[in-house]
Structures are given as structure tokens and as C-alpha cells.
């Protein structure tokens, strides 16, 4: 078993019309044994920027703390929040500087730029970015997430339809992966509000 599959995870971000959604499962396990069913995998950097971390749980928490520290320094120095594109470059640089002993994480970054244009991207554990205009996925359920998102995604969805689409994609995908699941955690972000919802899924 790969170290990336040790705790199990499923993270997906999807773009809508001037909005985006980011969702994850809630399982924290050690291989096939489930330890917790309320594990946080999506972190709020600021109101228009979210970070999802799949992979090894301990590395995800360590990386998140380092990135929060860097973002707070940026806020103090620049007196503004970081743009999603800038934050993606920061995450990429932080991962690449540890390339010989990497954080075993695959980040998903989702945010709204100044013109309320959604930005999503993912990267591997050494910071190679993959930008997308529709959706990005990561984690042990990524193969089934790709299939579900390809089938369900359509451009310029309104926030409610986007929530429905990403939720259905996540729940149907984690049912096909025994290392992730146990419900879902979804954020839908528009220029004016952030909606957070907890999904109930199969509890097995």
C-alpha cells in the first residue's frame, strides 16, 4: 500500500458561474481500520480561498500550519489577502523545497480572484501544478471521482446546482473506494457568501 493511501481520502473542487465548490470525505483511517469519521480535509485560508489536502493526515496538518504561517506573514506585509494564483505558487514552492523528503500530500486549491473569477488547481507531492477550467480531484477515490465529474459536470452552474452536482459526484465516488467515505464536507463559495454543508453517506 502506498503511503498516500495510508489514511484514505477524496477531495474534489468544481467551478460554477462566478462561484466554486470544494468537497471532501470525512474518514480518517489506518489502512482498512476506521479511526475517525469527522476528519477535516478542507481548510479555509480566507473567505475566498480554500485548501483541500489529501494524502497522509499528519503531513496534511503540518503543511496546513506552515501555509497559514506564510499567509499571515503575507497579510502583515502586504495588508491584503493572497490571490488564489499566488497561493498556488506558494504551495508549489513549499512542496518543491522539500522534494527530497516530501510532504505526502496532494493539495487542491480553490479560490475566487479579484474579478470573482473562479480558480482551481491541484498538484502532486513535489508541487507540479495542474490547472483546470472545470474540476480537479485528488485522493484515493480520484479515479472514480474523475468518472463521476466527467459525467455530471456542465459549465456555468449556479451555486445550488453546483452543490448538488459536486455532492452526487463525491458520494457516488467514495462508495467505490473502501479507503474513503463516511459522509462528506462541502463548501460552496460565491462572491458574497460561503455555504458549508455536511453530507451523510454510507456509514460502512
Per-residue pLDDT for the chain (204 aa), expressed as one digit of tens each? 899 999 999 999 999 999 999 999 999 999 999 999 999 999 999 999 999 999 999 999 999 999 999 999 999 999 999 999 999 999 999 999 999 999 999 999 999 998 999 999 999 999 999 999 999 999 999 999 999 999 999 999 999 999 999 999 999 999 999 999 999 999 999 999 999 999 999 888
Distance (Å, whole) CA 76 – CA 62: 22
Q: What domains, with CATH codes, occur in the chain?
A: 3-199 (3.60.20.10)
The two beta strands, 20-25 and 184-189, are antiparallel
Q: What angle do CA 14, 110, 55 make, to 5 degrees?
A: 90
Model confidence pTM above 0.85: yes
pLDDT of res. 204: 81
Nearest to 12 by CA among 56, 63, 57, 53: 53
SS3 68: helix
Residue 115 has what DSSP assignment?
Answer: T
Distance (Å, whole) CA 120 – CA 12: 10
pLDDT of res. 91: 97
pLDDT of res. 93: 97
Could you tell me the sign of the dihedral formed by the alpha carbons of 56, 58, 62, 64, in that order? Answer: positive
Could you tell me the sign of the dihedral formed by the alpha carbons of 164, 168, 171, 173, in that order? Answer: negative
Residue 3 has what DSSP assignment?
Answer: G
Set of cell numbers at residue 183? 459522509
Amino acid at each position: 500500500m502506498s503511503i498516500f493511501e495510508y489514511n484514505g481520502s477524496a477531495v474534489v473542487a468544481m467551478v460554477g458561474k462566478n462561484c466554486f465548490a470544494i468537497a471532501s470525505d470525512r474518514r480518517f483511517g489506518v489502512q482498512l481500520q476506521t479511526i475517525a469519521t469527522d476528519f477535516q480535509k478542507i481548510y479555509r485560508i480566507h473567505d475566498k480561498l480554500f485548501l483541500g489536502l489529501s494524502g497522509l493526515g499528519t503531513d496534511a496538518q503540518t503543511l496546513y500550519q506552515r501555509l497559514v504561517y506564510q499567509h499571515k506573514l503575507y497579510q502583515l506585509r502586504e495588508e491584503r489577502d493572497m490571490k488564489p494564483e499566488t497561493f498556488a505558487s506558494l504551495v508549489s514552492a513549499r512542496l518543491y523545497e522539500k522534494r527530497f523528503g516530501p510532504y505526502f500530500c496532494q493539495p487542491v486549491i480553490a479560490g475566487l480572484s479579484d474579478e470573482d473569477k473562479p480558480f482551481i488547481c491541484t498538484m502532486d507531492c513535489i508541487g507540479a501544478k495542474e490547472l483546470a477550467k472545470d474540476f480537479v480531484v485528488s485522493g484515493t477515490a480520484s479515479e472514480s471521482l474523475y468518472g463521476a465529474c466527467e459525467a455530471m459536470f456542465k459549465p456555468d452552474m449556479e451555486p445550488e446546482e453546483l452543490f448538488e452536482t459536486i455532492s452526487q459526484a463525491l458520494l457516488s465516488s467514495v462508495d467505490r473506494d473502501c479507503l474513503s467515505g463516511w459522509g462528506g464536507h462541502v463548501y460552496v463559495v460565491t462572491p458574497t457568501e460561503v455555504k458549508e454543508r455536511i453530507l451523510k453517506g454510507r456509514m460502512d
